[in-house]
Structure 1
C-alpha cells in the first residue's frame, strides 16, 4: 500500500553533473519539483549541487552559462547522481569522461542518465547487461553500438541502481516519482497543483488504458475543481461514474489515504497558499476553501500544519523580508 505522507530523517543528497550543451529544460524539470518539495515541506529535504567534469563553466543548449560548484572527481557520496548531456554528446565520449563516470558510480546510491547521458554511461560500461533508454532520436544508433545493453523505447527505465530517462518531459515524471518515494503522495499532490498538472498520478509508461484517466485521477481532478463548494463522495462518484467502494479502495491502495482525507488536504493546501500570498481575511479564505466558518478552517489548519493561519502568515512575511534583505 502507498504511503500518504513520509518524513525523511535526513536531507536527500543530490548532485548534477552537467556536460556542455545540455538541455536546460531537462535540468529544470528535475530541479524545480525538488525546489517545490523543499518549499512545501518548509525545510531542505533535497540538498543539491552542480558539478562538471573539470569544474569549468558549461553552457546550456540555449547558451545559458552555468557555473558549477566543483568538479566530478571531488564528488562526496550522494543519494542520487544525475548525469546530463544532450546535444553533441559524442564529443564528451572519451577516456577521461568514462573514467570519471566509473569512479563517480561508486559515490552514489543511484546513478541517473538524462537525455543522451545514457550513451556516456554505456560507454563507461555502467549499463552492461541492463535495460536502458535514451533520447529517442539516438535510440537506434545507441542500440547498434551498445549490444550488451537491452535498449528499449520507454520514457524512463529503472534497472537496479541505474535509471535512464529519455528526455525533458519524462524527467519531470521521474523526479516526481523520486519525491513520492521519499515524501509520500500528499507532497506530489501539492506539487501537481503548484505546477498546474492536470493529470494527477500519471504512470511512467504509456498505455491505452492510462490515457483515458483512472477513476482516481478523475476524482482528484473533480476535487481540485470544486474547492469553494466541496462535493460529497456520492456526488464525486456520480461525476466520474465509479462506485463509491471502488473509489475508496483505489484511494487506499494507490495513495494510502481516503477520498475525504485527500480532499481535505487539497483544500487546506489552497488555504495555506492564500494565507501566505494574499491579503484576504480568514473569513474570505474559509469561504473560498469550502469551510463553513473561520473557526472551522482555523481548527483544521492547525491540525494539518501545527500552526495557526496567523502564525503561518507571519512566517511568510518574515521569509519575504529576509529574501529582500539578501538581495537588496
Structure 2
C-alpha cells in the first residue's frame, strides 16, 4: 500500500495528507486512579489510525512515577518508560481521574514544566487538566475539565479560560472533559494531521457515528436533564446557576422572567415539586459540596463562594440537606482519600 493512502474497513482507499518521515509519538502520563475510559479512547484511536493508514503514523509510550499504575476500576497498567526526557516533538497526555490533587505530585508537576519548556505539546484527559493547571501550563489558555470538577477548578485557577466544551485546543495545550471526549479530541488531531477521511475511517471502525467538536458541551442543560420544557422556568433556572455567589431574590427572578412571584412559585411547584427558594438552595449546597470535596478552600470561603454570608447559617443549611456538617464532610473526605 502506498504511504499516502489509508484503507477503510470496506476496502476503499482514503488518501492521506503528506507527513514527515517519522511517526508522531504520544506519551500517556498516568496518574493513580486515572479513568480507564478516557485513556483507552485516546490510545485506541491511535491504534486504529495506524491500521487504517496501513503503516505506523503514531507511536505511544506509558509514563508514570511507578512501574505500575492502577486506574479507578482497579485494572493495573504497566509503565513502559519513566519520567525521563522526551523525544523531540513528543506530545504528552496526562490521564487523571479520582483524587487528582493527590496524584499531581511535585515530581510530576516539575517534569511537565521541564518538558513544556523544551517545547513539548501538553494535554490533559479527564481531570488531567488539573495537573497541567497546577504546573501553570494552562495560564491564559482555553481549557476544559469534567463537569464534576468545573466549580472547584474555576475557583482555584482563575487565570485559566475554562470552558464547558467536551474538549479544548489552544496552541500547544489540549484538554478533554473525560470519558468518550478523548476520542473526539484524537479524531480532531488525526483529521488535522492526515485529513478528515482518515479520521472518519477511524470513527467507522470504532462504531462511533457522531463525531463531536470543541463547540459541543459536556452536559445537557439543567432544564433538559430534569425534563422541564417551560421557557420561562428554564430561563430562571439558568439565571440561578449563573448567580451562585450572589443569589438573586425570587421577586427579581420573577420580574426578569416577566411574571409575578406567585406565578414563579406555581411553576416550580408544578414542574419541580419544590419552591424556587428551595431549588436555589439545593443548587448552592451542591456547589458547596463540590468545593469541600475537591479543593482546599476553607469552609468560610466555600460558604462565601456559594452565597452564604454567615458560617453558622451555611452549616445549618448543609446539615439539614446532607445530614452532616461542612467540617465533618471535609474531614470524612480526607480520611477516604487517604485509604
Matching residue of 2:59? 47
Deviation (angstroms), 1:108: 4.8
Render the CA deviation track for 1:201-228: whole Å, top value 9, x for unaligned. 5433228xxxxxxxxxxxxxxxxxxxxx
SS of aligned partner of 1:25: helix
Q: Distance in 1 between matches of 2:46 and 2:104?
A: 29
Matching residue of 1:12? 24
Could you tell me which runs of 5 or more consecutive residues in structure 2 were left unpaired when the two chains were aligned.
Answer: 1-13, 218-339
Matching residue of 2:81? 70
- Are residues 1:169 and 2:169 paired? no
Deviation (angstroms), 1:36: 0.6
Which of the residues 195, 204, 218 maps onto 2:214?
204
Which of the residues 95, 98, 102 maps onto 1:91?
102
Could you tell me which runs of 5 or more consecutive residues in structure 1 were left unpaired when the two chains were aligned.
Answer: 208-328
Render the CA deviation track for 1:59-93: whole Å, top value 9, x for unaligned. 11111111111211343334311111111101123
2:127–2:177 Cα contact (<8 Å) kept: yes
Which structure features the higher share of helix residues? 1
Superposed CA RMSD: 1.9
Q: Distance in 1 between matches of 2:49 and 2:137?
A: 30
Q: Distance in 1 between matches of 2:39 and 2:89?
A: 17
Q: Distance in 2 between matches of 1:110 and 1:93?
A: 18
Q: Distance in 2 between matches of 1:151 and 1:107?
A: 25
SS of aligned partner of 2:42: helix
Deviation (angstroms), 1:135: 1.0
- Tell me the number of residue pairs that the alignment of Structure 1 and Structure 2 aligns: 203
Matching residue of 1:105? 116
SS of aligned partner of 1:15: strand
SS of aligned partner of 2:174: strand
Which of the residues 38, 62, 80 maps onto 2:50?
38
TM-score of the aligned structures, taking structure 1 as reference length: 0.58
Q: Give the direction of change, closer, same or farther, for the CA distance of 1:98–1:203 in structure 2 (3 Å limit).
A: closer
SS of aligned partner of 1:97: helix
SS of aligned partner of 1:48: strand
Q: Distance in 1 between matches of 2:84 and 2:128?
A: 18
Q: Give the direction of change, closer, same or farther, for the CA distance of 1:8–1:23 in structure 2 (3 Å limit).
A: same
Q: Give the direction of change, closer, same or farther, for the CA distance of 1:203–1:151 in structure 2 (3 Å limit).
A: closer
Which of the residues 143, 146, 149 maps onto 2:160?
149
Q: Distance in 2 between matches of 1:29 and 1:85?
A: 14
Q: Distance in 2 between matches of 1:108 and 1:20?
A: 26
Q: Distance in 2 between matches of 1:202 and 1:27?
A: 18
Matching residue of 1:289? none
Q: Give the direction of change, closer, same or farther, for the CA distance of 1:28–1:94 in structure 2 (3 Å limit).
A: closer
Q: Give the direction of change, closer, same or farther, for the CA distance of 1:73–1:177 in structure 2 (3 Å limit).
A: same
TM-score of the aligned structures, taking structure 2 as reference length: 0.57
